[in-house]
């Protein structure tokens, strides 16, 4: 195998597949990147037990030449040093040559690295996804969906199923839900041309989605999503991102969302974020990062927090309106800020149903199909 | 069979640090000795002093130079805390041989509840034998107050020093207690003393006879408490757990025979968890780390613990984790002893509970009740609610165990 390739596309590809490579892998060959070259392109693969990423570099694209020379072949290269080597090579063109004994020769300008390769035959065969369950989605939209839900997945393994984002497609509506059992993020969008397609109980590991989100660039290109029983594939022109799905039944979450409320507050979300952020400066020290919100009349809320050793903070915030009963409620400041940031709307509506019941945050414009649920903290 | 009243001892070591030094260096006995930080520099202050030094006017917290002024030949020693801790442990170890219900209050004093252990003996004779044993074995003098409650016992031990034994009966408080100046009352600090003197309370007797309402207005909840104490009323139990305040609460039991039967073992875990949960409830704490102990037939002992993400407090929560740990770590050999310990304890009033989306209803159901409780607490103070308890039943549980282990293990 031999390729003469431009540094930039190679570097980008390596960085993409590196997202799937774990330094702690139990299968030694998976600590490497697989290179496959054919006449038209070079494909790089990185994998761990949860995700597999393939990144394709075309010989030429949109009139720009990426690869100047290809002699087809395959090799697995140790991933640990590769990104640094490629980054620091002196010239913008890089030649990678592999001999029959799997010795790798990387040359650029006057620099030459000789690396030991591994047998590509030993690299696990990747499953070929056979499915009719495919639909297209715009990349920037997908990234937004991930950003608005994925933060709420659980980081604790006590209920493994909650470490993933639940997705559901039904009646042209795609719904994502994530919850760590303390807060819940839900987002729905309408998707065209999927009349015959529906699935439920597809749970993607949160880690997979955050890696995917890092790799995907914010463009309006489309991406294809294919779902099977135990895997999900995200495919763009140059990228294959395959993730395992989580086993088990995702809990029914729709019943968790209160359908009535006793107090409705409309507030400028930036003001609220800033105020809670300030209060949480002291709250970070206490266990649950607790901030207390108390309504005062029909206009104002008081945000307070205290830490026994440090001190306390108090702030009065004017809302747009408060309707219904008075409320005194404590919650984790981080959950509230995460939720408000995810909604990303100028004004939000917060519906409370009591100090010990979850409250719902929605954007003021009801058309937006996003909802955040936060469970309060009970103070003794 | 229930006794009429309790018999509480307050054991107070006499000028403890100085006495420990004298026990180490008998040549110092009978001499004026003071313990002070930085004896060389003359800038230190007197931490404690022997009775001989006190007789010459040396007082605790007095700067050294001033102490030397009073008595130039004063022997000043650097504190040797390891020595004092060691002596303290030995002292409490002796006390715990008489009754498991010992509550250390500080390094050199503690309460004992001997109600159920005094038997047919005369309480004064029993106190004498305790005092004698501490003196014989450790060469340390102590004073013991004997009374029906902690407050009176504390006041009594202070009445005769060194090597005193004082009985203070409730009917004697008019003669023995009420004539003392108010500042000498345990629980009355400088600030409180000033306030009380302003309303012409000069003696403990004045306080006892003052109407509660005035005192409550002046000192809040504490006013009522002091009024009761001055009248010889104090129902605080002697609490051995106070020593390991908020460290851990554990129970263990040696099995009647070596067990391998899972059902039997689960039963034992249930009983142990019940005890731990009851003790946690009594202390008003919750835990976020549960540990189990398994001792096998060959005395090989392992402990395994699990760090939790949520606080636990109920029997069910504790037993579930204990059984889980057991499943993971039992090597299926016969077991001689099992233990369950709740660690990383947090007092409830300092904690908050992040409610869970899937089961918040449990807490939410009681919201109205909590609101009402909060209102009452705001109005009447935190102690407005006390769970009713059977004192006798408490004594039967092994809640003193871990405290005692600390001394027994030595």
% of chain B at pLDDT higher than 70: 86
Q: What is the pLDDT of residue B407?
A: 40
Is B144 in contact with B131 (CB distance < 8 Å)?
yes
**B377 pLDDT band (50/70/90 cuts)?**
low
Token match 């650029």: residue?
A108
For residues A244 and A324, state if they share a domain. Answer: no
Domain boundary among A203, A229, A251: A251
Domains of chain B: 1-167 (3.30.70.270), 178-230 (1.10.150.20), 242-350 (3.30.1490.100)
For residues A265 and A246, state if they share a domain. Answer: no
Mean pLDDT calculated for residue range A346-361: 94
Residue A182: inside a domain, yes or no? no
Rounded Cα distance, A76 and A35, in Å: 6
Rounded Cα distance, B52 and B72, in Å: 13
Q: Residue B115 pLDDT > 80, yes or no?
A: yes
- Binding residues of B, as ranges, are 12, 108
> Please, what is the angle between helix B81-98 and helix B16-24, to 10°?
100
How are beta strands A311-318 and A300-307 bridged, if at all?
antiparallel
For residues A147 and A83, state if they share a domain. Answer: no
For residues A211 and A281, state if they share a domain. Answer: no
* pTM of the shown model: 0.59
Rounded Cα distance, A348 and B148, in Å: 64
> Measured between CB atoms, does A262 come within 8 Å of chain B?
no
Mean pLDDT calculated for residue range B378-406: 44
Q: What is the pLDDT of residue A357?
A: 93
Residue A379: inside a domain, yes or no? no
% of chain A at pLDDT higher than 70: 97
Residue A315's domain spans which residues? 257-374
Is A162 in contact with A154 (CB distance < 8 Å)?
yes
Cis peptide before B162 (omega within 30 of 0): yes
**B166 pLDDT band (50/70/90 cuts)?**
very high
Choice among A146-160, B330-344, B359-373 with the minimum mean pLDDT? B359-373
* Cβ contact A181–B348 (<8 Å): no
Residue A219: inside a domain, yes or no? yes
Q: Considering chain A, what is the average pLDDT of its residues?
A: 91
The beta-carbon neighbor of B357 closest among A288, A332, A358 is: A358
| 3 state DSSP class of B59 | coil
For residues A310 and A367, state if they share a domain. Answer: yes
Residue A184: inside a domain, yes or no? no
B49: enclosing H helix or E strand: strand B46-49
The beta-carbon neighbor of B355 closest among A251, A287, A378 is: A378
Contacts of A380 in chain B (CB under 8 A): 348-349, 351-353
Domain boundary among A122, A155, A175: A122
Rounded Cα distance, B209 and B232, in Å: 12
Rounded Cα distance, B172 and B153, in Å: 13
The beta-carbon neighbor of A378 closest among B346, B350, B353 is: B353
* Cβ contact A290–B367 (<8 Å): no
Rounded Cα distance, B291 and B301, in Å: 13
Residue A63: inside a domain, yes or no? yes
Greater pLDDT, B28 or A286: B28
Rounded Cα distance, B23 and A330, in Å: 57
For residues A240 and A139, state if they share a domain. Answer: yes
Residue A185: inside a domain, yes or no? no
| 3 state DSSP class of B32 | coil
Q: What is the pLDDT of residue B408?
A: 36
Closest CA to B204 of B139, B261, B155: B155
Q: Considering chain B, what is the average pLDDT of its residues?
A: 83
* Cβ contact B357–A181 (<8 Å): yes
- Which two tokens mark A161? 């199923």
**A308 pLDDT band (50/70/90 cuts)?**
low
Q: Find the DSSP H helices in chain A.
A: 7-18, 82-88, 139-149, 206-215, 269-283, 333-343
User: Rounded to whole angstroms, what are the CA distances from A89 to A4, A58, A274?
Assistant: 14, 22, 46
Mean pLDDT calculated for residue range A145-151: 96
| 3 state DSSP class of B398 | coil
Domain boundary among A223, A251, A279: A251
For residues A160 and A267, state if they share a domain. Answer: no
A285: CATH: 3.70.10.10
Q: pLDDT tens across B29-49, in order? A: 888 898 887 666 656 778 888
Closest residue of chain B to A286, computed from CA coordinates: B351
B163: alpha, beta or left? (left if phi > 0; alpha if psi -120 to 50):
left
Residues 284-343 in B contacting A (C-alpha not used; CB under 8 Å): 309
Q: Which of B109, B274, B313, B317 is catalytic?
A: B109
* Cβ contact B352–A290 (<8 Å): yes
Rounded Cα distance, B55 and B46, in Å: 14
Alpha-carbon Rg for chain B, nearest whole angstrom, is: 25
For residues A323 and A355, state if they share a domain. Answer: yes
ipTM exceeding 0.95?
no
Rounded Cα distance, A132 and A226, in Å: 8
> Measured between CB atoms, does B352 come within 8 Å of chain A?
yes
Q: Which residues, in sequence order, are CB contacts of A323 under 8 Å at separation 6+? A: A263, A264, A265, A298
Q: pLDDT tens across A42-93, in order? A: 999 999 988 999 999 999 988 899 999 999 999 999 999 999 999 999 999 9
A143: CATH: 3.10.150.10
Q: Residue B272 pLDDT > 60, yes or no?
A: yes
For residues A298 and A247, state if they share a domain. Answer: no
For residues A155 and A216, state if they share a domain. Answer: yes
Query: Domain total for chain A?
Result: 3
For residues A69 and A156, state if they share a domain. Answer: no
The yes-or-no answer on residue B109 being catalytic is yes
For residues A342 and A320, state if they share a domain. Answer: yes
């Amino acid at each position: 195998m031999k390729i003469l390739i431009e540094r930039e596309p190679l570097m980008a590809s390596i960085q993409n597949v590196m997202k799937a490579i774990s330094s702690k892998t139990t299968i030694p060959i998976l600590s490497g990147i697989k290179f496959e070259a054919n006449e038209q392109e070079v494909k790089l693969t990185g994998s761990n037990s949860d995700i597999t990423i393939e990144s394709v570099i075309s010989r030429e694209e949109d009139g720009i030449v990426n690869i100047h020379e290809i002699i087809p072949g395959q090799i697995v290269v140790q991933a640990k040093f590769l990104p640094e080597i490629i980054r620091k090579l002196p010239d913008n063109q890089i030649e990678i040559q592999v001999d029959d004994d799997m010795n790798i020769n990387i040359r650029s300008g006057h620099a030459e690295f000789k690396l030991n390769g591994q047998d590509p035959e030993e690299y696990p065969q990747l499953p070929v996804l056979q499915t009719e369950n495919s639909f297209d989605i715009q990349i920037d939209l997908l990234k937004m969906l991930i950003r608005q839900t994925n933060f709420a997945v659980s980081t604790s393994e006590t209920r493994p199923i909650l470490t993933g984002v639940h997705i559901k497609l039904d009646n042209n509506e795609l719904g994502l839900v994530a919850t760590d059992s303390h807060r819940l993020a839900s987002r729905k969008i309408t998707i065209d041309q999927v009349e015959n397609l529906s699935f439920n109980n597809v749970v993607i590991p949160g880690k997979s989605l955050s890696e995917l989100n890092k790799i995907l660039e914010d463009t309006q290109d489309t991406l294809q999503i294919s779902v099977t029983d135990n895997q999900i594939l995200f495919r763009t022109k140059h990228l294959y991102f395959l993730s395992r799905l989580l086993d088990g039944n995702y809990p029914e979450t729709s019943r968790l969302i209160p359908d009535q409320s006793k107090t409705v507050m409309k507030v400028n979300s930036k003001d609220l974020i800033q105020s809670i952020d300030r209060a949480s400066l002291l709250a970070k020290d206490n266990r649950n990062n607790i901030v207390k919100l108390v309504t005062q009349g029909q206009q104002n809320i008081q945000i307070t927090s205290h830490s026994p050793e440090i001190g306390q903070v108090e702030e009065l915030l004017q809302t747009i309106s408060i309707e219904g009963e008075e409320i005194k409620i404590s919650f984790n400041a981080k959950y509230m800020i995460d939720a408000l940031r995810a909604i990303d709307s100028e004004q939000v509506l917060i519906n409370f149903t009591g100090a010990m019941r979850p409250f719902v945050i929605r954007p003021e414009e009801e058309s937006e199909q996003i909802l955040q649920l936060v469970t309060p903290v009970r103070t003794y | 069979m229930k006794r009429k009243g309790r018999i509480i001892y307050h054991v107070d070591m006499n000028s403890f640090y100085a006495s420990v030094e004298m026990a180490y260096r008998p040549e110092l006995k009978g001499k004026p000795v003071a313990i002070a930080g930085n004896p060389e520099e003359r800038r230190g202050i007197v931490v404690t002093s022997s009775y001989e030094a006190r007789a010459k006017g040396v007082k605790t917290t007095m700067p050294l130079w001033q102490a030397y002024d009073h008595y130039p030949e004063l022997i000043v020693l650097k504190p040797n805390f390891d020595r004092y801790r060691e002596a303290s442990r030995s002292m409490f170890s002796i006390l715990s041989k008489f009754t498991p219900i010992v509550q250390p209050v500080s390094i050199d004093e503690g309460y004992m509840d001997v109600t159920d252990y005094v038997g047919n003996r005369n309480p004064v004779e029993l106190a004498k034998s305790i005092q004698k044993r501490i003196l014989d074995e450790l060469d340390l003098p102590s004073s013991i107050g004997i009374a029906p409650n902690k407050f009176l016992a504390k006041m009594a031990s202070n009445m005769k020093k060194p090597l005193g034994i004082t009985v203070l009966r409730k009917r004697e408080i008019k003669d023995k207690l009420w004539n003392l100046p108010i500042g000498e009352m345990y629980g009355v600090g400088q600030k409180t003393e000033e306030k009380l003197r302003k309303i012409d309370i000069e003696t403990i007797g004045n306080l006892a006879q003052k109407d509660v309402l005035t005192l409550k207005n002046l000192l809040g909840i504490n006013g009522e408490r002091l009024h009761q104490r001055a009248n010889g009323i104090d129902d605080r139990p002697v609490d051995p757990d106070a020593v390991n305040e908020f460290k851990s609460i554990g129970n263990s039991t040696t099995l009647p025979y070596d067990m391998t039967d899972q059902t039997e073992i689960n039963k034992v875990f249930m009983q142990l968890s019940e005890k731990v949960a009851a003790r946690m409830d009594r202390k008003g704490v919750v835990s976020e780390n549960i540990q189990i102990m398994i001792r096998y037939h060959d005395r090989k002992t392992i402990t395994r613990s699990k760090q939790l993400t949520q606080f636990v407090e109920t029997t069910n929560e504790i037993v579930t984790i204990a059984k889980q740990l057991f499943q993971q770590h039992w090597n299926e050999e016969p077991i001689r002893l099992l233990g369950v310990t709740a660690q990383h304890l947090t007092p409830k009033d300092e904690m908050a509970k992040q409610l869970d989306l899937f089961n918040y209803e449990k807490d939410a159901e009681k919201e109205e009740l909590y609101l009402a409780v909060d209102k009452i607490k705001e109005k009447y103070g935190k102690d407005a609610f006390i769970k009713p308890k059977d004192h006798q039943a408490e004594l039967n549980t092994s809640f003193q165990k871990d405290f005692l282990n600390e001394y027994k293990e030595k």
